[in-house]
């Protein structure tokens, strides 16, 4: 199985607190992988090491076949989409301007931008008259849909999602899950989803990695993890998810 991301003996500490200690791990290509763990497990740190928001103290990170270095970080980031909890939209830009920002920086022409924007609007079931609205006029779920459109604008081979749905109410989550699954099925790509919610992981992912205190407790397909939890901790996460 080919990997889209490889962590090779990666270590990361904040002062005296070690978050990751010589961790080696592969994220499979063209699958949705959920990185599951409680707060402080190291899952968000792992994701931020991928796009260079954090730097490893030791070890190597390879993304899409290339080592993450200061020299190639900018072009690598152009090949990654990134969406976070709370949408992170620019409040002074319209929805359309938020979504198209990176494409304009990349030099796309207006026809290319419009074609891609409307394609994403349709996939995420956003009404086209939202295009000229500002983020404050949208609901939380609508803002998160816009955030996903922005992350997908360049049609990147890798999508990084850091707890993107955690602030949404249960009804909104249900509908956005369906749209996320449709997006995943229409455009094949590698997706790394960070979540503390095992139920979300079981619903959206094909591959699961469970982290605890910076170490991998279990990894494998959703079916394998569900069928044979590695220990009582993983079993407890599954039990809570299936209540």
The average confidence (pLDDT) of the chain is 91
Q: Is residue 46 one of the residues assigned to a domain? A: no
Into how many domains does the chain fold?
Answer: 1
How confident is the model at residue 222, as a pLDDT? Answer: 93
- Does position 86 have pLDDT exceeding 80, yes or no? no
Helices vs strands, H then E, count in the chain = 9, 10
Q: Name the pTM for this structure.
A: 0.90
Q: Is residue 69 one of the residues assigned to a domain? A: no
Q: Is residue 132 one of the residues assigned to a domain? A: yes
Distance CA 69, CA 76 (A): 9
160-175 pLDDT, tens digit per residue, is: 999 888 878 888 888 8
Q: Is residue 14 one of the residues assigned to a domain? A: no
124-142 pLDDT, tens digit per residue, is: 888 898 999 999 999 888 8
How confident is the model at residue 31, as a pLDDT? Answer: 94
Q: Is residue 124 one of the residues assigned to a domain? A: yes
Distance CA 156, CA 188 (A): 10
Q: Is residue 17 one of the residues assigned to a domain? A: no
51-61 pLDDT, tens digit per residue, is: 999 999 999 99
Q: Which two tokens stand for residue 83?
A: 């969406």
- Does position 181 have pLDDT exceeding 90, yes or no? no
How confident is the model at residue 153, as a pLDDT? Answer: 94
Q: Is residue 233 one of the residues assigned to a domain? A: no
How confident is the model at residue 33, as a pLDDT? Answer: 96
- Does position 1 have pLDDT exceeding 70, yes or no? no
Range of the domain at 125: 81-155
Distance CA 75, CA 158 (A): 13
Backbone angles phi, psi at 195, to 5 degrees: -155, 150
Q: Is residue 25 one of the residues assigned to a domain? A: no
Q: How many CB atoms lie within 10 A of CB 235?
A: 12
Q: What is the mean pLDDT of the segment spanning 97-108? A: 93
How confident is the model at residue 42, as a pLDDT? Answer: 86
How confident is the model at residue 85, as a pLDDT? Answer: 74
- Does position 107 have pLDDT exceeding 70, yes or no? yes
Among 36, 68, 27, 33, residue whose Cα is nearest residue 236? 36
């Amino acid at each position: 199985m080919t990997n889209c991301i490889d962590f090779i003996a990666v270590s990361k500490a904040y002062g005296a607190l070690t978050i990751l200690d010589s961790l080696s791990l592969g994220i499979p290509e063209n699958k949705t992988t959920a990185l599951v763990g409680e707060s402080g497990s190291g899952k968000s740190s792992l994701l931020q090491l991928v796009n260079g928001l954090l730097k490893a103290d030791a070890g190597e990170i390879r993304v899409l076949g290339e080592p993450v270095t200061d020299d190639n970080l900018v072009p690598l980031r152009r090949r990654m989409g990134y969406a976070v909890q709370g949408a992170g939209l620019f409040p002074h830009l319209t929805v359309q301007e938020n979504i198209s920002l990176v494409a304009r920086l990349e030099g796309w022409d207006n026809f290319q931008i419009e074609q891609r924007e409307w394609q994403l609007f349709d996939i995420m079931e956003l009404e086209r008259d939202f295009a000229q609205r500002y983020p404050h006029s949208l609901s939380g779920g609508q803002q998160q849909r816009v955030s996903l459109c922005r992350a997908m604008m360049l049609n990147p081979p890798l999508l990084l999602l850091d707890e993107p749905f955690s602030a949404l109410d249960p009804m909104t989550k249900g509908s956005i899950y369906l749209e996320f699954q449709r997006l995943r099925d229409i455009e094949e790509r590698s997706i790394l989803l960070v979540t503390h919610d095992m139920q979300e992981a079981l619903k959206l992912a094909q591959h699961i990695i469970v982290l605890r205190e910076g170490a991998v407790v279990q990894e494998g397909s959703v079916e394998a993890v569900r069928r044979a939890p590695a220990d009582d901790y993983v079993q407890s996460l599954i039990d809570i998810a299936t209540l």
